[in-house]
Amino acid sequence: MNGRFSEYVLGDLKAWRQQGKRAALLTLYNTEPTGPRPTGSQMAISDAGDFTGFLSGGCVEGALVEETKAAIAEGVNRSIRYGVNSPYFDIALPCGSAIDVFIDVGFSDDHLDTILAATSTRQPMQLIINMENGTSNVTPLDGNDGRPQLVLDGGQFNRLYRPPIRLVIAGKGPVIVSSTEIARASDIEVTVITSEDDTAAQCESLGATVAKSFKPDSIDEWTAVATLFHEHELEGPVLSAALDSDAFYIGALGSRVTHAERVERFLQASYADTNIARIKGPLGISIGSRNPPEIAISMVAEVLQVYRQKFPV
C-alpha cells in the first residue's frame, strides 16, 4: 500500500484535485459490533491510487482503493460492506466484525474549502450527507462538542469536524524535543515556547510551530498545555493563562512536593480550588518515567486520554 495514516485527510484530497486528479472522500459510517477504527473515520483516494487514512487495521484498504477507482470512473457514489454478511467473502476482517463505508465521488470542492477554512480558524463544522440521493450540506456546529464524531440516522449521517488537537509545550531541555516528536507522530499540532535556540530548531524540524513568547489567545477548548520547566518560577505566566482558558488539559513537570508548592502559589493568587485542580501535577501517566522519551510518552498519553474522555469518537 502506498498510503499513510492521518486523522485529517481533506488536505490531501484538495492537493490531489489541484494536481488534476479525481479524488473521492470515504467515510466509515457503521461498524458491527465494533471495528478497529471508529465510525466517522475517513479516507481520501485518488484515481491514481493515492490514499490517506485507514478505515480498518489495514485489512481492506487495498480493496477500497480499487473499489473507489471504479466508482470514480463510473461517476457514481456507492456504499460497500466488508466482513460479516458482505458480498466480498474473500475479504475478511480478522476481528470478526463488519464495516460499512460510503464512497462519495462527488464531494464538492465548495464543501472541501469550507471545512478546510474552518479548520484553519479552529471552528468546528458538521458535514451532513444523504447517502440515498447524494445530497450534502456543511454547517457550523450548533451545540455541545461532546457529541460523537458521527451520528447515523437511517440513510443519512452527520460527521463532525473538530479542530485538530493542539499541544502547547513551554519550557527547556531535551524533554521538549522528545515531547514534540511523540506528539507529532500522534497527529497532534504542536506549538513550542522556549528560549533555547537549539531546542527550537530541533522542534521546528519535527514540524512544530516555535516561538520565544507565549500568546494566551492561542488556547482554545481543543488545546492542551504542558509546562516542562525545571526553573518552576518560569512556568507561572503560562499556567495562569491556561487556567484562564478553556484548555482541555493542563500539565506541569515536577515532583509532588513541587506541585504542592505550585498549588499554594495559585491559592495565594486567589485561584479557586476547582480551577487549580485542573493542573495535572506531576504531569503524565505513571509509568516510572526516568528519561526524556519516557516522560514525553507518559505526557502525550495523558493528553490523549483526557481528550478522548471529553471528545468521544
Kindly report the CATH number assigned to the domain that includes residue 267: 3.40.50.720
* Same domain, yes or no: 119 and 209: no
Q: Is 132 within the bounds of a domain?
A: yes
Residue 155 covered by a domain: yes
- Looking at 161, 176, 205, the residue that finishes a domain is 161
The pTM for the full model equals 0.92
Mean pLDDT of 50-75: 94
> Is residue 203 included in any domain, yes or no?
yes
Q: Are residues 174 and 69 in the same domain?
A: no
The count of domains in the chain is: 2
Range of the domain at 267: 166-310
How, if at all, do strands 42-46 and 51-52 pair? antiparallel
Question: CB-based burial of residue 226 (10 Å sphere; 0-12 exposed, 13-18 middle, 19+ buried)?
Answer: buried
Nearest to 122 by CA among 159, 163, 161, 168: 163
Q: Is residue 260 part of a domain?
A: yes
3-class DSSP state for residue 4? strand
For position 152, what pLDDT does the model report? 97
pLDDT digits (tens, 9 = 90+) for 146-183: 889 999 999 999 999 999 999 999 999 999 999 999 99
pLDDT bin (cut points 50, 70, 90) of residue 36 is confident
Are 178 and 277 members of one domain? yes
Query: Do the Cβ atoms of 53 and 5 come closer than 8 Å?
Result: yes
